[in-house]
A = this chain, B = another copy of it.
Amino acid sequence: MSSAVRRDSKWWGWGESSHEAAIDPGSLSLLRAELGDLQPWGRPGSIDEVKLSPPEPLPGTIAEAVGVANVLSGHEDRVRHAAGRGYIDLARLRSGRLASAPDAVVLPAGAAQLAEVLAICAREGVAVVPYGGGTSVVGGVEPLRGDHGRLVSLDLARMRSVTLDDTSLTATLGAGLRGPEAEAALRRQGVTVGHFPQSFEYATIGGFAATRSAGQASSGYGRFDELVTSLRMIAPAGELKTLETPHTAAGPSLRELAIGSEGVLGVIPEVTVRVRPTPERERYEAWMAESWEAGCEVVRSLAQDWTLPDVIRLSDEQETRFSLALSGPSGFAGALFKRYLALRGREGGCLVVIGVEGEREVVARRRSLAARQLRAGGAAYLGQSAGRAWKRGRYEGPYLRDALMDAGAMAETLETSHTWSRLGELYGGVQGAIRGALEAQGTPGIVLCHLSHAYPDGASLYYTFVARRLPGEELEQWQSVKAAACEAIVAAGGTITHHHAVGRDHVPYMKAEVGELGLGLLRAVKQRLDPAGILNPGKLIG
């Protein structure tokens, strides 16, 4: 059996089996007070109990192409490749009922085998779902077959090479490298990509490129699309390879056509990205803004003065209150911290976390520029410990979601972005839509928001909502809230996604996003690259 396939995370939830986020009794009481009587949600039993149809037999030529050991049709691997990590994926896994699963998991060793597998699948009419870390929260790895009777999950776990150009400070990275693996290999050579999304521990390099990922430090290091200098993309119709030069004016950017293509236009075997020297020092700290509006104004001034720290996050009042009330993943020492805030008259404010990384002198200079503007904008300094606690807990969100689900809650996130002049309208519109949809179902909930990616012209908003689960009606309950939020985003002119991508869940909103002609263009490109329509049916463009 292929030694590359990964089975090292919870099959039904997030992360490694030995690691869990616990909700203490006090926090649980608080949740119940807000959400009503929660009915605990049991975890599923053994993976063997998940019901699947028997796999369809696949063309033998696939096993000839990649080696028989690299075509896995066993129960565990099929289940593990059948779902992403959105709320609905997790709800289905908990229920032990999956709508569908791949007939096999196929692991090509490199670009040549990958091309061969795609050629076979195109010829034989086998649908292909490219698979990196399986961390999509928008249904990106849902095993939809389209018009095809068979489906394989194309797992890139064997494509994990790392090649550094230490003169140009670029690294060519295999698509199957998980975040920590790529970082470890690069840090041994003194450099970092600096890309740390919340999914970092399990998501892969190929996935970052295919979904336009944005990391928590994107204000400093750049979003992943900004880090990619060139890439390869393999489609049934052939290979696209962009030139490895820092810039070109030779027509439309084909690199930007491959980035964000979500496995629908082709499969990305490797990307070349900018790297930086590993930071000598880092400084994370917390501030308290007087209000959401005042906080937004400070972030705007930092962005428009080009003095943004590498990380900047502004929580709204609700998120701030909950971060402080729950002694959860962010590790704020609740009571003590609240007393500290009360002393400063800042109980009602909005938490700001900033982080600066780099050479000692650069960190000091950039931190001092940011601090000056935060102070000028009325924010109060809360010290480094809360900032460090945020950094320690930066990958904990998905673990906490499992714990919330254990407790009987629906917990989901979604995100958008807009220009500064329309951010307030978007903020209120989406918040109101989520609240309203939850209340309409008799499950009023907690709606939290933070701003986490700032630009001179605008920012992203990231919403978390938690409500009492309606047992047996999880899908309908979630769909109604998701639809209301998406419609509010569209109505305010925001983007349907700032960094979660389109996947299956956002397909209905792509017409509002790119227009009828935009969709037509993407379909024309798809038709040229994948005339048989085998690549990730039902995603991105439907």
Partner-B contacts on A (CB < 8 A): 165, 167-170, 211-214, 223, 225, 229, 235, 237-254, 256-262, 265, 274, 276, 300, 304, 365, 416-422, 453, 455-460, 493-502, 506, 510, 513-518, 520-522, 524-525, 527-529, 540-541
Q: Are B456 and A514 in contact (CB under 8 A)?
A: no
On chain B, the residues within 8 Å of A165 by CB distance are 419, 421
User: Measured between alpha carbons, how far is A422 from B235 in the docked complex, in Å?
Assistant: 29
Q: Which 10 A-B pairs have the closest CB atoms?
A: A256-B256, A246-B458, A212-B249, A248-B495, A246-B455, A524-B528, A168-B419, A167-B421, A253-B256, A238-B517
Given contacts A240-B521, A257-B257, A529-B521, contact A265 B248 (CB under 8 A): no
Q: A247-B498, A250-B497 are in contact. List 12 more A-B contacts (CB 8 A).
A: A167-B420, A168-B420, A170-B419, A213-B249, A240-B515, A245-B416, A245-B419, A246-B459, A250-B506, A250-B510, A252-B257, A521-B529
Q: How far does the alpha carbon of A239 sit from the alpha carbon of B515 in the complex, in Å?
A: 9
- For A422, the closest partner residue in chain B by CB is B168
**Which one of A260, A417, A517 has the greatest number of beta carbons of chain B within 10 Å?**
A517
B499 pairs with A249, CB closer than 8 A: yes
A540 proximity list for chain B (CB < 8 A): 251
Q: Which residues of B contact A522 (CB under 8 A)?
A: 251-252, 254
Query: What is the total number of copies of this protein in its complex?
Result: 2
Residue of B nearest to A458 (CB): B246
Q: Is there an interface contact between A513 and B252, defined as CB atoms closer than 8 Å?
A: no
For residue A240, which residues in chain B have a CB less than 8 angstroms away from its CB? 514-515, 517-518, 521
Q: Which of A223, A258, A420, A518 has the largest number of chain B CB atoms within 10 A?
A: A518
A465 shortest CB reach to chain B, Å: 20
Provide the bound-state CA to CA distance between A418 and B247, in Å: 8
Known contacts: A521-B529, A524-B525. The answer to whether A248 contacts B513 by CB under 8 A is: yes
Cα A259 to Cα B257 in complex, Å, equals 12
Do B245 and A494 touch (CB < 8 A)? yes
**Residues on B with beta carbons closer than 8 Å to the beta carbon of A238:** 516-517, 520
Nearest opposing residue in chain B for A170, CB measure: B457
